[in-house]
Amino acid sequence: MVGMCGMLGLVSLLIMGIFLFDKTKENLAQAIKYSGFMNLLLLTLMVVSEENEMLLMKWEWVKLGGYSLSISFRYDMYTCSFFVVALYVTWNILIFSFYYMSTDPRVDLFCKYLGLFLIAMLLLVSAEGFFQLLIGWEGVGIMSYLLISWWYARSDANTAALQAIFYNRIGDIGLVIMLVWSLMNTSDWTFTSLYALDMFNVFLVVGVVLAAMGKSAQLGLHPWLPAAMEGPTPVSSLLHSSTMVVAGVFLLIRFSPIILMNSYAQAGVFLLGTMTTLFSAICALAQNDMKKVVAYSTASQLGLMVTAVGVGVPQLAFLHICMHAFFKAMLFMCSGGYIHGLQNEQDIRKMGGFLFATPITSSCLFIGSAALMGTPFLAGFFSKDPIIEAINISNMNSWAIGLVLVATSFTAVYSFRLMFMGVGSASRMFTLQPMNEEYNNLVGPLQRLCYGSIVAGVVFIYFLIPYQVSILSLPFTLKLAAIMVTAVGGLVSWDVVKLLHTSEGTVNVNYLSFEAQVGFYSHIMHKIMPKVWMTLGENYQMQMIDRGWAELTLPQGFGQNYKLLADNINQTQTALVKMYIAIMMLILMMMLMLIALS
Amino acid sequence: MYHLVLGYVGLVMSVWVCDSKVMWRVGQIGGLLLVVPALGLMNLNLFISGVSGAMTSDFMSVALTVLSIWLLPLMLVASQQHMVNEAKFYQRVFIGCQVFLTGGLVLAFLASDLLLFYIAFESTLLPTLMLITRWGAQKERYQAGTYFMFFTMVGSLPLLVCLLGQYQLSGSLALDLMFVGVSKGEYIINFWWLGCVVAFLVKLPLYGTHLWLPKAHVEAPIAGSMVLAGVLLKLGGYGMIRVSYLWGSSALVSGEVILALALWGMISMGAICLRQTDLKSLIAYSSVGHMALVVGGVMTGTAWGYNGAMILMIAHGLVSSCLFSLANSWYERGHTRNLIGSRGLIMLFPLIGFSWLISSLMNLALPPAINLFGELVAMVAVYNWSVYSVAFMSLGAVLTAGYSLYMYGMSQWGNVMKGYKNLYIITSREYLLGLLHLMPAIYLIFYLGLMF
């Protein structure tokens, strides 16, 4: 029964694939919607029947000696939940992009790209074999490349797209290491045989973590995520918040049984996550671009998910992926609505007072931010609070635990700042803006995602519970730590806003340049790394070796030397008979001498 | 298998005698028809699928034979436009040249005797030289032709000497025999082995001997670039696999040096590509980078390495040939190869942009393209040789992605440069050209077994 329903998941993928060729974008949206509900049915059945995982459809792709590589799908709780969430969110974002991209002549193609992206993402999540994982992994990367640079005549967008692909590819070094290692050590390149191997390997784990760093924009490989905000808002909403960027975390979750075997690996992942979450939260504090604030908060939440994997609760990390998808997609949609209303103005200093102009969007922004902060009984609470609780009771580095708590409070600071600058306060926008939210394609998706942000947590916590036994006796302060630091953050944000935006006279904001310039990371790295490679390419490889040593010693050098030789021999060819006879005599004499000597 | 070679003899003749109105069509259709008997050679169950006289076909030679036969009509289709203004006689010579070249390649791939292989190998030089120096675009084509000629000759003469010496020792140069009479472990064997492979390393080319390649690729007319990138480089890879089969792993010490050189070449070629301003030169240098992994795979001397190298060669043959033909279709309109001068092409030619996209993505080995599979398999082989090599290989993959997408982004995106007038639309001939390149590449994804 459940196996039959598992086929439903495949069928839904197939249906979407077919509808990609459909002429009208509305049909694609419908297909995604119904696929989502089909998968909801599947999820329900899995929950009811308490079946944990199943493998489906083994199609042997190629046989290489003793190896056989096949395409097969892995349906477990993760896959099913993610299918439901991703399809639901994508459906809404597709509808939203009808509104947002309505004046774009290529809107149909845009929707197809989104659909193709979704299929790649679902392939990734449902992959059992690593090759299929790789198809999905690279597929989402390339789709993000194409979508970031959707407005391709802008050179900023081109650069951002190339930047995304470069950082992703650096992460893919890790994936290649993982693939090569597992191709050698497992017989059929699947998760099943990797789990069965039950072996910790440094190469494998370093590779997986590196891959996750690239895709999930962890500290060090993070700058592409904010830069990707050059893309249209639906792209930011779907790819760079709710689905694609969590692929790295998802990879870590899939590999968590192996990572958690070794305490050093675990601690490494944990520290990576904590640093990312804090760094991104700090950066979000001082951004003035509305999309950038939300982007950095995404990066911060990704850091939190990685932290959760590191602390040993991958189920909660996954739960946070699902919850995060709802409210982060919604936050981006809200900012998309504002940006449209303000005629492409993204600066929050020129917003304000939207509460009266666009009540629905503004309340959605409020609910989304509240869910993001972990306000009790909204979606974010059910994932964020247990994660922080698990971190608090873990025996990890207490300094790192402190960093997570600080980052959590910063979430409140930047969320409140965003709400104050956007929704609250007095209007600072230019007059006569076409501020309007009377579009079904804007309000509908917002409302649907808003319902999701409110109730999804209650539903999902029912079946996505950690395997570990939870500690029931927890000190009062630790239990309430997350909420308390968030409340403190809310209070602090009042001061931040007062300092930055409402105080009279000039304020010395030099000490904010670290935050505003995002840690100077891209200023340094984006100067050094291209310079290294470009110098290597042009000055050393091209000018010095290819056009220098190699050319001058081999072809040109031989040519010059033969020319010299020929010139010298030429000297003897004087066309004077006396000269020839003299040379002949000389040679004859030498030969005679040789004969005489020998 | 003689029928294939005879087919090419016939095709040269029919191009020579037919009416000048139909000679292009004769070349194209005749070339396409010859694919059919070549496909007949494929017998997937046997290692050696056919023997006749001096010719043997096994899974490697069949794959490359089909590739070279497939590329002949494409070359002719691609060069139809820029030959329009030539005299009819020279058009005839041009077509004859390419048919002869392909016949030589087929002979080389199917030869069961190393001496016959050597002769066919050398016979491809002359038509290629003619293509480059007669029909190239700029004055630098003479230098390119000289470089091409001399590099290949200097490399291949030691091969002849080694082959003759081997013949003296064993009395046969049949491919199926292991080299006998050479006592393994002697110091001299390294040099002997090196003499055998250096011709192929120059042809492939290995980093360090690649100097002729960018020049030849850039200066050659489109047909020359296509056949050079598509098949002639693979002649080197094929020969190297053959010779390393014969030698076994006896000379792995010098093989390791070459492997290390190839690994470094992969990265430095990537770095060079990032700085190219010339579209054709970028594609040419990227070929060197890709071929480095072929060298790596072959030099490990393992079945995985050979398999990976074979898949990579087939994939690269189709994809880089496609990129060259796309670059040419822009060159015929814009008369520039400069990347700055060719921006925003997707606005001008939206549909051909799709071919650009697909071929760039295949060039960077996007899964599930066969390029990726070849790279992975070759990487496993090299990884087995040394764990640390994976750092070089994956860095090479990063750079490959970087320059492929840099090429795509630079040429397709951005704003069109002002000043282009009368750019005529892309003809269905060019769409067909892209399709015929990419279709086999996509087909092979599903039937990867064809190459094992």
pLDDT in tens, A228-272: 999 999 999 999 888 899 999 999 999 999 999 999 999 999 999
Q: Which residue in B has a C-alpha nearest to residue A558's C-alpha?
A: B150
> Which tokens go with A427?
């209007």
Mean pLDDT, range A189-204, rounded to an integer: 88
Side chain identity at residue A21, one-letter code: F
> Which tokens go with A105?
């002549």
Provide the pLDDT for residue A4: 67
**Distance to chain A for B340, nearest Cα, Å:** 13
Q: Which residue has the higher pLDDT, B250 or A563?
A: A563
Among the residue ranges A196-205, B165-174, B384-393, the one predicted with the least confidence is: B165-174
Interface of B with A in 250-269 (CB under 8 A): 268-269
Q: Which of B185, B162, B183, B166 is nearest to B174 (CA)?
A: B166
Q: Which of A254, A436, A246 is nearest to A360 (CA)?
A: A436
**Residue B366 in contact with partner chain A when CB distance is under 8 A:** yes
Contacts of A170 in chain B (CB under 8 A): 398
d(CA B250, CA B189): 8
Interface of B with A in 208-227 (CB under 8 A): 208, 211, 214
Mean pLDDT, range B252-270, rounded to an integer: 87
Provide the pLDDT for residue A394: 86
Q: Which residue has the higher pLDDT, A330 or A5?
A: A330
Provide the pLDDT for residue A5: 67
Interface of A with B in 22-81 (CB under 8 A): 61-65
pLDDT reading at B181 higher than 60: no
Composition of chain A by helix, strand, coil, percent to 5 = 75, 5, 20
Provide the pLDDT for residue B177: 57
**Distance to chain B for A252, nearest Cα, Å:** 20
Contacts of B304 in chain A (CB under 8 A): 64-65
Q: Which residue in A has a C-alpha nearest to residue B452's C-alpha?
A: A64
* Phi-psi sector, A93: left (phi>0), alpha (psi -120 to 50), beta: alpha
Among the residue ranges A307-316, B78-87, B167-176, B238-247, the one predicted with the least confidence is: B167-176
Side chain identity at residue A281, one-letter code: A
Provide the pLDDT for residue B409: 93
Candidates A173, A532, A547: best to mutate against B (most CBs of B within 10 A) is A173
pTM of the model: 0.92
In this predicted model, what pLDDT tens digit does every residue of A298-313 receive, in sequence order? Answer: 999 999 999 999 998 9
Q: Which of A301, A497, A485, A495 is nearest to A406 (CA)?
A: A485
Dihedral, CA atoms, B191, B193, B196, B198, nearest 10 degrees?
Answer: -60
Contacts of A162 in chain B (CB under 8 A): 402, 405-406, 409
d(CA B180, CA B6): 33
Provide the pLDDT for residue B252: 58
Interface of B with A in 368-427 (CB under 8 A): 368, 372-373, 376-377, 379-380, 383-384, 387, 390-391, 393-395, 397-399, 401-402, 405-406, 409, 412-415
Q: Which residues pair with A54 in a beta bridge?
A: A75
User: How many CB atoms are closer than 10 A to CB A252?
Assistant: 29
Strands B55-58 and B48-52: antiparallel
Tokens 């001397």, residue located: B301
pLDDT reading at A450 higher than 60: yes
Among the residue ranges A546-555, B180-189, B302-311, B407-416, the one predicted with the least confidence is: B180-189
* Phi-psi sector, A352: left (phi>0), alpha (psi -120 to 50), beta: left
Provide the pLDDT for residue A135: 92
Interface of A with B in 501-560 (CB under 8 A): 533-534, 536-538, 541-542, 545-546, 550-551, 554-555
Alpha helices in B386-452 (DSSP H): 389-412, 428-446
**Distance to chain B for A372, nearest Cα, Å:** 35
pLDDT reading at B118 higher than 70: yes
Torsions phi, psi for A63 (to 5 deg):
-115, 130
**Residue B448 in contact with partner chain A when CB distance is under 8 A:** yes
Q: Quote the mean pLDDT of chain A.
A: 89
In this predicted model, what pLDDT tens digit does every residue of A519-534 receive, in sequence order? Answer: 888 889 999 999 999 9
Residue B262: HSE in the Cβ half-sphere, 13 Å Cα cutoff: 29
Question: Which DSSP symbol is given to A221?
Answer: S
d(CA A113, CA A94): 11
Provide the pLDDT for residue A171: 92
In this predicted model, what pLDDT tens digit does every residue of A376-385 receive, in sequence order? Answer: 999 999 999 9
Contacts of A181 in chain B (CB under 8 A): 383
**Structural contact between residues B285 and B269, judged by C-beta atoms closer than 8 angstroms:** yes
d(CA A318, CA A466): 10
**Residue A135 in contact with partner chain B when CB distance is under 8 A:** yes
pLDDT reading at B46 higher than 60: no
Mean pLDDT, range A40-64, rounded to an integer: 77
8 Å CB contact of A134 and B275 = no
Among the residue ranges A548-552, B153-157, B247-251, B428-432, the one predicted with the least confidence is: B247-251
> Which tokens go with A556?
């040109």
Peptide bond into B205 cis (omega under 30): yes
In this predicted model, what pLDDT tens digit does every residue of A359-373 receive, in sequence order? Answer: 999 999 999 999 999
**Residue A139 in contact with partner chain B when CB distance is under 8 A:** yes
**Distance to chain B for A184, nearest Cα, Å:** 7
DSSP codes joined into one string, A264-312: HHHHHHHHHHHHHHHHHHHHHHT--BHHHHHHHHHHHHHHHHHHHHHHT
8 Å CB contact of A169 and B211 = no
**Distance to chain A for B405, nearest Cα, Å:** 7
| Sequence-separated (6 or more) residues with CB below 8 Å from residue A414 | A281, A284, A285, A287, A293, A296, A297, A493
Taking one residue from A and the other from B, the number of pairs with CB-CB distance under 8 angstroms is 127
8 Å CB contact of B409 and A536 = no
8 Å CB contact of A177 and B377 = no
> Which tokens go with B437?
């390149």
Counting other chains too, the contacts that B160-168 makes at CB distance below 8 Å and 24 or more residues apart are B160/B118, B161/B195, B162/B192, B162/B195, B162/B196, B163/B114, B163/B115, B163/B118, B163/B196, B165/B192, B166/B114, B167/B115
Q: Which residue in B has a C-alpha nearest to residue A549's C-alpha?
A: B208
Interface of B with A in 301-340 (CB under 8 A): 303-304, 307
Q: Which of A161, A271, A150, A164 is nearest to A223 (CA)?
A: A164
Interface of B with A in 134-153 (CB under 8 A): 146-147, 150-151
8 Å CB contact of B383 and A184 = yes
Provide the pLDDT for residue B254: 73
8 Å CB contact of A537 and B379 = no
Candidates A59, A60, A62, A112: best to mutate against B (most CBs of B within 10 A) is A62
pLDDT reading at B396 higher than 60: yes
Candidates B349, B390, B415: best to mutate against A (most CBs of A within 10 A) is B390
Q: Which of A295, A187, A188, A277 is nearest to A236 (CA)?
A: A295
Torsions phi, psi for A337 (to 5 deg):
-60, -45
Dihedral, CA atoms, B41, B43, B46, B49, nearest 10 degrees?
Answer: -10
Mean pLDDT, range B314-339, rounded to an integer: 93
**Residue B24 in contact with partner chain A when CB distance is under 8 A:** no
* Phi-psi sector, A351: left (phi>0), alpha (psi -120 to 50), beta: beta
Mean pLDDT, range A210-234, rounded to an integer: 93
8 Å CB contact of A158 and B409 = yes
| Sequence-separated (6 or more) residues with CB below 8 Å from residue B27 | B11, B15, B72, B73, B76, B95, B98, B99
Mean pLDDT, range B97-101, rounded to an integer: 94
Counting other chains too, the contacts that B25-34 makes at CB distance below 8 Å and 24 or more residues apart are B27/B72, B27/B73, B27/B76, B27/B95, B27/B98, B27/B99, B28/B73, B28/B76, B28/B77, B29/B73, B30/B99, B31/B69, B31/B72, B31/B73, B31/B76, B31/B99, B31/B102, B32/B73, B34/B4, B34/B7, B34/B8, B34/B69, B34/B72
Residues above pLDDT 70, as percent of chain A: 96
pLDDT band for position B193 (50/70/90)? confident
Contacts of A542 in chain B (CB under 8 A): 272, 275
- Number of residues that make up chain B: 452
Question: Which DSSP symbol is given to B228?
Answer: I
8 Å CB contact of A153 and B413 = yes
Contacts of A551 in chain B (CB under 8 A): 211
Interface of A with B in 189-218 (CB under 8 A): 203
Candidates A59, A64, A540: best to mutate against B (most CBs of B within 10 A) is A64
8 Å CB contact of A63 and B449 = yes
8 Å CB contact of A183 and B376 = yes
Side chain identity at residue B359, one-letter code: S
Provide the pLDDT for residue A363: 94
Q: Where are the domains of chain A?
A: 262-516
pLDDT reading at B190 higher than 80: no
pLDDT reading at A11 higher than 90: no
Contacts of B393 in chain A (CB under 8 A): 176
- Number of residues that make up chain A: 598
Distances (CA, A) of B36 to A22, B32, B108, B440, B443: 36, 8, 19, 14, 17
8 Å CB contact of B274 and A176 = no
**Distance to chain B for A529, nearest Cα, Å:** 12
**Residue B449 in contact with partner chain A when CB distance is under 8 A:** yes
Torsions phi, psi for B113 (to 5 deg):
-115, 135
Of B208, B384, B415, the CB nearest to A153: B415
Torsions phi, psi for B131 (to 5 deg):
-60, -45
d(CA A469, CA A492): 36
**Distance to chain B for A387, nearest Cα, Å:** 35
Provide the pLDDT for residue A61: 78
Tokens 């001068």, residue located: B341
d(CA B129, CA A171): 44
Q: Which of A465, A459, A324 is nearest to A390 (CA)?
A: A465
d(CA A58, CA B160): 51
Q: Which residue in B has a C-alpha nearest to residue A150's C-alpha?
A: B413
**Residue A492 in contact with partner chain B when CB distance is under 8 A:** no
**Structural contact between residues B204 and B294, judged by C-beta atoms closer than 8 angstroms:** yes
Provide the pLDDT for residue B250: 53
Q: Is B53 exposed, middle or buried (0-12, 13-18, 19+ CB in 10 A)?
A: exposed
